[in-house]
Amino acid sequence: MRAANVILEALKREGVDTIFGFPGGVLLPLYDALYDSSIKHILTRHEQGAGHAADGYARASGKVGVCMATSGPGATNLVTPIANAYMDSIPMVAITGQVSRHLIGLDSFQEADVTGITLPIVKHSYLVQDSESLPRIIREAFYIASTGRPGPVVIDIPVDVCKEEMDYDPSAIPAMHLPGYRPNVKGHPKQTKEAARLIGSAQRPVIYAGGGIIMSGAADELRELAIYGHIPVTTTLTGKGGFPEDHALSMGMLGMHGTQYANYAISQADVILAVGVRFDDRVTGNLKTFAPEARFIHIDQDPAEISKNVSVDVPIVGDAKKVLATLLTELKQLDLSPDRHVPWMEQVEAWKQNHPLVIRQSDDGEIMPEAAIAKIYEVTGGDAIACTEVGQHQMWAAQHYLCRRPRQFITSGGLGTMGFGFPAAIGAQVARPDSLVIDIAGDGSFQMTLQELATAVQFDLPVKVCIINNQFLGMVRQWQELFWNKRYSHTCIECQPDFVKLAEAYGAEGYRATKPDELEEVLRTAFASDRPAVIDIRVKREANVFPMIPAGGSVHDMMEREP
């Protein structure tokens, strides 16, 4: 069998049904094999789109996303998606073509040292040296990408390797031998007991949950534990949906643009149960003043996250789902009284009542951006898979698009990649063909990857792009307004295409809403359509995202509303 066919057979064995990719010279053997393969190939219009689509596919499905690009510029165009997947711990396998083995290192046409370039942003990588190792490498790559703390794995394959003839016997693939890779799954029993004791003795407990809940499929365990322990829950941006945000115990998101009540609760908590989080600076602000009274229990799959930013009292390395289940069993043995911290729950409730998230209504007939998100939430019944780009609209979406289930909110958290949301939504739609998939976008971000409209149209993927259009690079403009004397250096992007005509030019549907009373009807029509659509929502141009804790600040520096 030709090695290119072996690659596809090996991918099928790993459960791959879809590849997002873009062909090129050194990928000719592989694309020739794809021509009559049962694996579906989604041709994007840029390799970055393929990478983010694979990422969105992985986030929506929980499976490993697969993307493919040719050598040199094709592969370097995957660098941003790989970094994005690395920062948010998304299981992804990126297959890149490489020049023939005898041309490597000679500055050959379309040659780039891809394993070298991606070294700091991969969980692991392979430069395939011979066709015989392909079945083993592909098996290892999927195992490494999807187990432990997930992440991207790059397989760089020289074109002459793909052309070789080889024997392929799936039953003869040697057993995986990865002596340096043994993710710890079960938490330490003594530590778990100690964590239960600490939670049981807490007067002001808070659960701080992140993307690890989603990765590990621990949402049920988390909910059960929070309800049993009567503990308020705040989630990070990537943890959204890990705990139902319409639940009485939910405090929404914490951090820079988190809810006031979540940040107040964290700042006064005496015990914080941190699960699948990494104490990112957008969450903690100034580490010296972050949760000053709290003792920390930290459950994480990755030992390197323990005490990386915050010194932890009870570390538990393991899979969140398993550890939370054990922890709940331990807690139940303590036979906790449900009203052991009534004053705390009253305090949290009072903060919620007195400092709610506000949906402003404009007095001059303009659409307020957060009101647009609230309307999208209402019209979708809160059931859509909501992808976002990066910027103000992303924070408004995080605040106002409440999520009830995991894998419902797909956003670039760690890397903050503008242009991520639309291709990610395409990937999510492939993974969930029957779901309504929307991309809550900014006009700046959308213009970074909008060529994927052709992909959505070609493959009948009815993604709905809702542009929160303020004709600014809004988040940077907000910082310029608040911290740089309103000197709007290069953030005004009034020169932009007519997004309605643009969508139509691509064969998608285009809509526009400029007044609050137009919005609902436009959204309903667009969402009811079975075709991809772009909805240009013109919003108040200089609206800011609040509350806001300035970078490196503490809860005391919080700005509640426009100054």
Chain residues in the site for other proteins (CB under 8 A): 115-116, 119-120, 123-124, 127, 144, 178-181, 302-304, 306-308
CB burial of residue 159 (10 Å; 0-12, 13-18, 19+)? buried
Using the minimum distance from each CB to other proteins, give the nearer residue, 229 or 315: 315
Is 25 within 8 Å of 110 (Cβ atoms)? yes
Tokens (6 digits) for 10: 């090996």
Task: Tell me whether residue 203 or residue 311 sits nearer to other proteins (CB atom).
Answer: 311
Q: For tokens 């007195």, name the residue.
A: 354
Q: Residue 151 is which amino acid?
A: G
* Inter-residue contact 178 to 120 (CB < 8 Å): no
Kindly give the residue spans of alpha helices, DSSP state H, lying in 369-473.
Answer: 369-379, 392-400, 421-431, 443-449, 453-458
115 vs 362, which CB is nearer to other proteins? 115
- Name the minimum Å distance from CB 77 to other proteins: 22
Q: Which is nearer to other proteins, 15 or 116 (CB)?
A: 116
CB 53 within 8 A of CB 432: no
Using the minimum distance from each CB to other proteins, give the nearer residue, 126 or 208: 126
* Beta carbon nearer to other proteins, 174 or 179: 179
User: What's the CA dihedral at 525, 528, 534, 537 to 10 degrees?
Assistant: 40
Residue with structure tokens 């509350």? 547
Rounded to whole angstroms, the Cα distance separating 297 from 373 reads 35
Contacts of residue 525, Cβ cutoff 8 Å, sequence gap at least 6: 511
**Rounded to whole angstroms, how far apart are CA atoms 459 and 201?**
56
Measuring CA to CA, which residue among 235, 231, 285, 238 is closest to residue 262? 235
What is the torsional sign of CA 484, 485, 486, 489? negative
For residue 303, the minimal CB distance to other proteins (Å) is: 5
State how far the alpha carbon of 390 is from the alpha carbons of 161, 231, 442, 495, in Å.
39, 31, 7, 20
Question: What span, in angstroms and rounded, lies between the C-alpha atoms of 535 and 446?
Answer: 12
In the complex, least distance from residue 306 CB atom to other proteins, rounded to whole angstroms? 8
Contact call for residues 445 and 395 (beta carbons, < 8 A): no
Is the Cβ of residue 124 or residue 295 nearer to other proteins in the bound state? 124
The least distance separating other proteins from the CB of residue 272, rounded to whole angstroms, comes to 20
Q: Give min distance, CB of 159 to other proteins, in A.
A: 19
Place of tokens 């992985």: 58
Q: Which is nearer to other proteins, 123 or 223 (CB)?
A: 123
- 213: β partners: none
Specify the 3-state DSSP secondary structure of 425.
Answer: helix
Which is nearer to other proteins, 120 or 381 (by Cβ)? 120
Residue 98 CB, nearest distance to other proteins (Å)?
A: 14
The answer, yes or no, to whether the previous bond of 292 is cis (omega within 30 of 0) is: no
User: 100: helix, coil or strand?
Assistant: coil
**Smallest distance, Å, CB 124 to other proteins?**
5
Alpha carbon distance 135, 172 (integer Å): 10
Nearer to other proteins, 181 or 488 (CB): 181
Residue 116 Cβ vs other proteins, minimum distance, rounded to whole Å: 7
CB closer to other proteins out of 315 and 419: 315
Nearer CB in complex with other proteins: 181/459: 181
Min dist CB 180 to other proteins, Å, is 5
Residue pair 353/404 in contact (Cβ under 8 Å)? The answer is no
Q: Of all helices (H) and strands (E), which one includes residue 92?
A: strand 92-98
C-alpha to C-alpha distances, 467 to 89, 411, 479, 502, 526, nearest whole angstrom: 27, 15, 21, 13, 13
- Closest separation between CB of residue 178 and other proteins, Å? 6
H or E element at residue 296: strand 295-300
Question: Which tokens hold the place of 225?
Answer: 């534990």
Question: Which CB atom, from 119 or from 528, has the smaller least distance to other proteins?
Answer: 119
Q: How far is the CB of 540 from other proteins (least distance, A)?
A: 42
* Alpha-carbon gap, residue 293 to 315, rounded angstroms: 18
Least separation, in Å, of the C-beta of 304 and other proteins? 4
Amino acid at 306: I
Burial of 201 (0-12, 13-18, 19+ CB in 10 A): middle
Least CB distance from residue 35 to other proteins, whole Å? 33
CB 436 within 8 A of CB 529: no
Query: Measured from the CB of residue 75, what is the shortest distance to other proteins in angstroms?
Result: 16
